[in-house]
Structure 1
Amino acid sequence: MSAPDVDRAAVAPHAVPAHARGADTADQVPADLPGLLGRLARRDPDRIAALDKGRDGTTIPVSRGELWQRTLSLAEELRTGGIGAGDCVAVWLPNWSDALAWQFAVAARGAHVIGINTRYNVDEVTHVLDRARPRLVALAHDFHDLDLLGGLREAVARSTNPPPAVAVVAGPGAPAVADPSASDVGGGAWAPATPVSAPPGIGGSGLDDLVVAFTTSGSTGMPKLAAHRAHGVLTHAVADATTIGIDEADLVLCALPLSGVFGYNTGMAALAAGATCVLQPVFDADTVLDDMAHHGVTHVVGGDDLVLRLAEAWKARPRDLSAWRWLGVADFQGRSRELAEWARDAFGTATAGVYGSSEVFALTAFWPHDEPAPGRWTGGGRVVHDGITVRVVDPVTGEELPPGQEGELQFRGPNVVDAYLGDDSAATKAFIADGWFHSGDLGALVDEGVFAFVCRMGDALRLRGFLVDPAEIERRLAEHPDVFTARVVGIPGPDGDTRAIGFVVPEEGRAPEPASLRDWCAETLARFKVPDAVHLIDAMPTTSGTNGTKIRAATLREWARQRFEDSRST
């Protein structure tokens, strides 16, 4: 098994200034998280920090000064409400500028935010209440016909912790909720006031304070809540802004939920650069494209599932997206390469594959702008600042491996998770004795600080003694004109050897023969890589999280095992 095709000689360092490469950061990184917004407001209070979407679909500009004043007022209300150092505040809001104000205001109190996706079910919300133990929940009022309050009531009833207070947030352009008492779930309820004058000065917070936590993917059970300190958030935001090349004139699409790590890091990078966040509280591809064209969006970060929906909507009704300069894409469904080609050919957009997670931040690494395609479109890249170190180790022996050899990717640095809310034992499993973090991902070093991501270690296939990336087989299947998307999983055969099983969603109106798809693979792949069987299915089983829609490999493995057993019994 080989790493993705990357030109090692061509991998140049990101153009990162001294402050992001480990030198003195005093002039570049604020002293605390609220200071990031505060310095923007002081420098140019009238400049637009965010574009909100009103309930009627209109765009509502939010200036830096307005967002800062809202943050100051909210921080004072939190102080009055008893929120202080070490407390947790759950923010259950869509992508409104209010979600940004809550993050900065909570940090000003020395407290931390746990974001809750508006699509979470009751079990997931209960899990957050049990683990994070929030004293307060900021709850979106009457949002998108979702019964968030009903879900919270049920979650509180199931939780073993005391009920939190509720702050009812009306949303962009709406007046404060006149009677928030209806939202009381047992801990009291209030509605943030609309600032009318400059409130008192903001409280203090420190770089060592926990400020935000994200839910992990939860692929092996209920998710962990990975928390990060202000120092890591700020250092990462500044480095991301610089390495991506965002500046004050740019407009950054914020379509992924701010409650998830990809949406959060994208928004923070935009603010660190002084750019404008184009907020999308609900993802509708046509609306997003209209906004991208109207406002001249320059930067987009998302999974290939999100970008695929944009591409399909654009092909149905093209818009002028010539301002779109950069796409950072995470390959969740194996479609990144074709989408990178579409964006390049249609708009001249440069695409980079990115790497990240809730535990090491999104946009921890991506490929430099001068790395040639198609290597630039794969997962991995160069870490965004020299404070992050990465190595590859043999997952069995723990031996550190040289460039080109595949093993587990491990990380150290301020980007790495600082705590797991409600689960102290999780850190013991996540780290080894000398402080390296187990990513659980298979990859290979290309150069110092540069790596190629291959796949999750549990998804790698050992076929005939060779370690094989299933994406290699999936790409070949997807090249067939009758195939819309493909995924390959491994199951144990009767002899104990792994068997590769392909699942294919055909193009609409097509029904390729499974045997012909195996023959198609055999034309270019080594014999041992040809899947033992290929099954046609109507749709991939997926799970929707805060960072995008991912195919459920575990479900496909179960389907593969069942179909294999059925074939043996007939």
Structure 2
Amino acid sequence: MPDLLARLVRRDPDGVVAVDARTGGDPIPLTRGELWRRTCGLADELRRAGIGPGDCVAVWLPNWSDALAWQFAAAARGAHVIGINTRYNVDEVTHVLDRARPKLVAVAHDFHGLDLLARLHEAARRSEAPAPAVAVVAGPGRPPVTDPAGYDVGGGAWVPAAAPADPPVPEPADPGELAVAFTTSGSTGRPKLAAHRGSGVLAHALADAAAIGIADGDVVLCALPLSGVFGYNTAMAALAAGAVCVLEPVFDPDAVLDDMVRHGVTHVVGADDLVLRLAEAWRTRPRDLSTWRWWGVADFQGRSRELAEWALESFGTATAGVYGSSELFALTSFWPHDEPAPRRWTGGGRLVAAQIEVRVADPVSGEALPVGVEGELQFRGPNVVDAYLGDPDAAGRAFTADGWFHSGDLGVLADDRTFGYVCRMGDALRLRGFLVDPAEIEVRLAAHPGVHTAKVVGIPGPDGATRAIGFVVPDERVVAPSPAELRDWCAASLARFKVPDVVHVIEAMPTTSGTNGTKIRAATLREWATERSGHRA
């Protein structure tokens, strides 16, 4: 991985590799040569701190260029990084410390009014792992911390030095060592820490850059946290292509739109919740986003189609549905540019590398299924998780006997390299004997002019059969539709068995903010649906 950066430097040391966007301040460009010097200097500090092959370094930083330097420097030492989201609470940080057992934690000082220091102390107190050392990072354009003693949680604390003019170049590290780990969604229990080797990271970054069509001189928006798999893989693809990363440490829609104009952003990866906020800010104050060529979208809130149409009509932006996870890397697949809409805007797509394989299997028998038949998506290849930090038995549960990874996702093959994502297997609805993707009903509900957001869940009915229950948040600009009106709206175009038994109109969706975007909490909606099951309006 450090060699990727070294090659960029040899090609053009003065070329800009990243821009640190700052709310309320001027952006700070960073050249390839500067990032290389910071990486080399930090790698030497890590060597002197005793960080070596197999060690874990926790990086608790926002989207600063420092986070890139820490990733490359740790890889240069044969160590691996576990990113910690700045939104994580004490319990979540404690879980990471217990599982990953980092030897060192790099933590942001005085960031955005967040008391990361108090969280770190409390998490270290609760954790059963040995106390890590702490490196205190001030952030771009800010003076270094003069006294880091308050950050000492038992393993010492220090402040990284400024990059020397001519730092020692680190010895080549083994690309077979683990390089990065991501927390999973935790939908089936406590989140796992899915780790990947450096060789896999580099190969995937090159494959993504080539498949997307990112080129030297392009500008990629990095608004998703680098601690999450979607933000991380986006940045790595940009670096592999020689593009510029516009790093947004705080997501303010108006500021991000201004940065997209200022820097001529060409590529964006983000869920529909992120671009929905951009679209709402743009409608209030339109700006020229004609440089924006491509958006890779993950559909979290059922708004992808309308947003893809907005981006296409307003700026000529091509949108492609993507697929990925912490265990499989983000951007494992996406629909090619010549795939017709609206299918191109859905999840799934064509695998980005020939080394990646996909099959669809019967969830019960494990038998491979032919093209066109729904089943569990299973994968093999260098993108697949290599280890689970702190849980060596997890890999045995995650793979089939013949080495295919259980994604837990329902999908269907279009051919041997292209597939459509349907939904999480646990979210699929069995209605009147038919397996139904709830998104089909959600898209219909969201198309109503009085609906802002829609979500559909299933609960058991009195006879044991699944009942589809809809929840909608009305558009505050119009009169809220009635539940009966929404059911009639669905019945006008959906098969009768797909019409929700009940539609609840609510003020706001229960959501959770993760490293990859804001998702609606389907489990909470199922609880609400069960509680209200005696009420049909």
TM-score by length of 1: 0.93
- Deviation of the 1:55 alpha carbon: 6.5
Q: Please point out which of 372, 383, 391 is paired with 2:359.
A: 391
> Of the two structures, which has the highest relative contact order with CA contacts closer than 8 Å and spacing of 6 or more?
1
Match of 2:487 in 1: 518
Q: Please point out which of 110, 113, 128 is paired with 2:78.
A: 110
**Cα distance in 2 between the residues matched to 1:244 and 1:147:** 38
**Cα distance in 1 between the residues matched to 2:247 and 2:215:** 17
- 2:522 matches 1:553: yes
Are the counterparts in 1 of residues 223 and 248 from structure 2 also a CA contact under 8 Å? yes
Q: Pairwise mapping of residues 473-552 of structure 1 onto structure 2 (< 5 A)?
A: 473-508=441-476, 509-552=478-521
**Cα distance in 2 between the residues matched to 1:490 and 1:145:** 40
Query: Residue deviations 1:12-68, cap 9 Å, x none?
Result: xxxxxxxxxxxxxxxxxxxxx111111111211000000012474211010000000
SS in 2 for 1:567: coil
Unaligned runs of 5+ in 2: none
- Deviation of the 1:175 alpha carbon: 2.4
Amino acid at match of 1:126: T
**Cα distance in 1 between the residues matched to 2:10 and 2:22:** 27
**Cα distance in 1 between the residues matched to 2:485 and 2:315:** 36
- Deviation of the 1:196 alpha carbon: 2.9
**Cα distance in 2 between the residues matched to 1:175 and 1:96:** 15
Match of 1:349 in 2: 317
Match of 2:175 in 1: 207
Query: Residue deviations 1:374-405, cap 9 Å, x none?
Result: 11101000000110000001111111111111
**Cα distance in 1 between the residues matched to 2:272 and 2:170:** 40
Match of 1:17 in 2: none
Amino acid at match of 2:530: R
- 2:186 matches 1:236: no
- Deviation of the 1:434 alpha carbon: 0.9
Match of 2:6 in 1: 38
Are the counterparts in 2 of residues 55 and 172 from structure 1 also a CA contact under 8 Å? no
**Cα distance in 1 between the residues matched to 2:169 and 2:320:** 41
**Cα distance in 2 between the residues matched to 1:64 and 1:522:** 57
Identical counterparts, % of pairs:
76
Q: Pairwise mapping of residues 325-474 of structure 1 onto structure 2 (< 5 A)?
A: 325-474=293-442
- 2:61 matches 1:93: yes
Are the counterparts in 2 of residues 78 and 106 from structure 1 also a CA contact under 8 Å? yes
**Cα distance in 2 between the residues matched to 1:523 and 1:38:** 59
**Cα distance in 2 between the residues matched to 1:97 and 1:306:** 21
SS in 1 for 2:297: strand
**Cα distance in 1 between the residues matched to 2:349 and 2:326:** 17
**Cα distance in 1 between the residues matched to 2:166 and 2:512:** 44
**Cα distance in 1 between the residues matched to 2:218 and 2:161:** 31
- Deviation of the 1:222 alpha carbon: 1.9
Match of 1:169 in 2: 137
Match of 1:567 in 2: 535
- Number of residues of Structure 1 aligned to a counterpart in Structure 2: 536
SS in 1 for 2:448: coil
**Cα-Cα RMSD:** 1.1
**Cα distance in 2 between the residues matched to 1:510 and 1:447:** 45
Query: Residue deviations 1:473-518, cap 9 Å, x none?
Result: 1111111111111111111111111011111111114221111211
SS in 1 for 2:535: helix
**Cα distance in 1 between the residues matched to 2:361 and 2:211:** 27
Is 307-316 or 475-484 further displaced after alignment? 475-484
- Deviation of the 1:245 alpha carbon: 0.5
Match of 2:284 in 1: 316
Are the counterparts in 2 of residues 337 and 374 from structure 1 also a CA contact under 8 Å? yes
Q: Please point out which of 216, 224, 227 is paired with 1:248.
A: 216
**Cα distance in 2 between the residues matched to 1:468 and 1:159:** 43
TM-score by length of 2: 0.99
Are the counterparts in 2 of residues 156 and 185 from structure 1 also a CA contact under 8 Å? yes
Give every structure 1 segment of 4 or more consecutive aligned residues whose post-TM-superposition deviation is greater than 6 Å. none
